[in-house]
A and B are shown apart, each in its own frame.
Chain A
Amino acid sequence: MVGVDLDAMAPMPVVDGRGTHGGYCGPAVKPIALRMLGEIARTPDTSVLPISGIGGISNWRDAAEFLVMGATSLQVCTAAMHYGFRIVEDMIDGLSNWMDEKGFETIADVTGRAVPNFVNWNQLNLKFKTLASIDQEACIKCGLCHIACEDTSHQAISKTLLNGERHYEVIDEECVGCNLCAHVCPVDDCITMVPQPVEDVQTWNEHPNNPMSKIPAKAG
């Protein structure tokens, strides 16, 4: 249900005073579609099914993402209804250029490339760390990153006055690498997340805090 008409007191779209639930599509459903696609592609017994990917595909990048997550063909509805049939030209050009850049010759080269990296949470490396980094040249001193981190993350962006100007700085020791500041920053590429060198691999399966793991946790 995309909304309720507060005058008609009915779900939208309103048909003579009443509404119903409908089929939801477009960019908003892409995350759901990708997950479903990936789930079928990575599960051994269903991975043999060829998949026609669908749900929110709006440009060549979405197309590439659906292909690497397991699709062999792609279906588009909302993007064509929004921008017309000729949107396919950009999709074809974009996908083709990207494949050339990456050295992929055929769709079969692309299909499923990312599937082995779609894993369960307990297979992620807990030793990996990424840190926020602010490009002070690009920063417009809006303070959104500070407020976000201060109020709802890890108090890892300090706010000070430097030469009479507001200044925001990441406190590396406090940053847990959650990415929130990078998502809220209104300036593209101003906050980047910098992956730190990885020394070791330890997943939850091997972690001492995991009661199911073989390594016992240290007391205290």
Chain B
Amino acid sequence: MADLSTNIAGIRSPNPFWLASAPPTDKEYNVRRALEAGWGGVVWKTLGEDPPVVNVSSRYGATRYNGQRMAGLNNIELITDRPLAVNLAEIKAVKKDYPDRAIIVSIMVPCVEESWKRILPLVEETGADGIELNFGCPHGMSERNMGSAVGQVPGYVEMVTRWCKQYTRMPVIVKLTPNITNILNPARAALRGGGG
């Protein structure tokens, strides 16, 4: 039997399948059942600063093609709409019960050093295995100069990545936006920000 365990930047998981940061990972209730089902890890639904964002009703559009439902899924949901402390407490509880799984916390706060400096120790305190920087969200948050608005500017990618390397020991995953002409530019920025 093949060994499916993996180690990415020091984050270990029993198999390479992680649930991406989104509704499947937005609360303890979901995440526990996902881990029971066998997922190797989860990237928790993106955390932000309080007060939490507000989401709209009517959230998903789908491309249906020749009988194939959800060949593409389009969403206009934002990041977590629950208070930071609630998410942090749940992450801590889950990590404690699933030490062998990869619990990664997705974060999106303004491009201000103070904001990152404030949230990183709180996340680290949960015992999470790593963080993911949400530089991808293309709607709503980008209008607030976060998400893809950061991911599209290599200088910002590098700057925030560097802050994260500076203010936490946790491994840092930079989630790149595909809404860009050349993916190598933000990838190189992430590499530089990470000290490479």
Contact = CB atoms under 8 A, between A and B. Distances in A.
Contact of A89 (B23, B37, B175, B196): B37
Interface SS, A side = mixed
Interface string B77-112: 000000000000000000000000010000000000
Interface stretch (B3-11, B118-126, B152-160, B162-170): B3-11
A72 B9 CA distance: 9
B27 interface: no
Contacts of B41: 73
A100 B1 contact: yes
Given A46-B187, A73-B18, A24 B4 contact: no
Contact of A49 (B22, B60, B190): B190
A162 to B, nearest CB: 32
Given A2-B62, A100-B2, A52 B74 contact: no
B113 to A, nearest CB: 24
A77 B76 contact: no
A81 B2 contact: no
Contact of A22 (B6, B61, B68, B69): B61
Contacts of A106: 2-3, 5
A15 B5 contact: no
A99 B2 CA distance: 6
Contact of A85 (B1, B39, B61): B39
A76 B15 CA distance: 13
A104 interface: yes
A215 B176 CA distance: 42
Given A15-B57, A28-B72, A36-B178, A73 B191 contact: no
Given A26-B70, A85-B34, A36 B183 contact: yes
A20 interface: yes
B127 interface: no
Interface residues on A, range: 35 or more
Interface in A61-77: 63, 67, 71-77
A138 interface: no
A32 interface: yes
Contact of B137 (A23, A26, A54, A77): A23
Contacts of A11: 61
Interface of A: 1-3, 11-15, 19-29, 32-33, 36, 39-40, 43, 45-46, 48-52, 54-55, 63, 67, 71-78, 80-82, 85-86, 88-89, 91-92, 95-96, 99-100, 104-108
Given A2-B62, A26-B63, A95-B15, 15 more contacts: A13-B58, A22-B75, A23-B136, A23-B139, A39-B184, A55-B178, A73-B18, A73-B41, A75-B20, A75-B43, A77-B20, A77-B24, A81-B73, A89-B37, A106-B2
24 contacts: A2-B63, A22-B139, A25-B75, A26-B72, A27-B68, A32-B178, A36-B176, A36-B183, A39-B183, A50-B8, A52-B8, A63-B16, A72-B7, A74-B17, A75-B21, A77-B19, A80-B24, A81-B24, A85-B34, A85-B37, A96-B2, A100-B2, A105-B2, A106-B3
Interface of B: 1-9, 11, 13, 15-24, 33-34, 37-41, 43, 56-63, 68-76, 102, 132, 136-140, 173, 175-176, 178, 183-184, 187-188, 190-191, 196
